[in-house]
Amino acid sequence: MEATGGDTPRRGLDPRFEALFGEVAPALYAWAELRIRPGLRARLDPQDLVQEVWIRGMQGFARFDERGVSFRAWAFRIGKNILMESLRATRNEIVGTPGGVTSRMLALERVPQDVTSFTQRLAREESVRSFLDEAGSLAEVDRMLLLHCGLEGETCARAATKLGISEDAAIKRWQRLKARLRGESWSRAILGPEE
């Protein structure tokens, strides 16, 4: 991710955070595109979710401990929390509970212009578009395995439970799918490095 003013990082921003976020952002954006259902898009756009992950990640980066969890898993956890908050706020509006968007959520006026430009570029990036096209062509079980195992980093056992299939079936399907996808040009940008 580019810093404001050429190579000079923004004051107070850890350049390591920017580098790590730049690596995971394409996967986060692709995940958000697949996870945010059409009915929720009026409340939460994929670009907004990625920007909110940037805000919360930047604010909490001093507490991030890479010995406990990878940056990718940490960033995805933030993204999942944002998505869940948005879903809860939507449910509250449907049942008539006042509230709407939480005060912590989507404080996008604090997002620097270069981060906004970065997420706009992600939406047009060829690797992201190619991944989304591929994901759209998969059978539902494979698409969900891609989400759970490939992007969210869950185990096949946990994904199998969510999908109502056996662990063996999930493992076999994920191994075949991963082997096929690793040959794609976008694989490293979206799925990350091979374990």
Q: Which domains does the chain have, with CATH numbers?
A: 10-124 (no CATH), 126-195 (1.10.10)
Q: What value does the mean pLDDT take over residues 47-72?
A: 92
Contact 20, 1 (CB under 8 A): no
* Predicted confidence (pLDDT) at residue 11 exceeds the cutoff of 70: no
* Predicted confidence (pLDDT) at residue 99 exceeds the cutoff of 50: no
* Predicted confidence (pLDDT) at residue 118 exceeds the cutoff of 60: yes
* Predicted confidence (pLDDT) at residue 7 exceeds the cutoff of 50: no
User: How much is the pTM?
Assistant: 0.80
pLDDT at 81: 94
Percentage of residues in the chain with pLDDT exceeding 70? 81
Q: Which runs of consecutive H residues, i.e. helices, occur in the chain?
A: 15-35, 46-60, 71-94, 113-124, 126-137, 140-145, 156-163, 167-181, 187-191
Torsion from C-alpha of 86, 90, 92, 98, nearest 10 degrees: 90
* Predicted confidence (pLDDT) at residue 8 exceeds the cutoff of 50: no
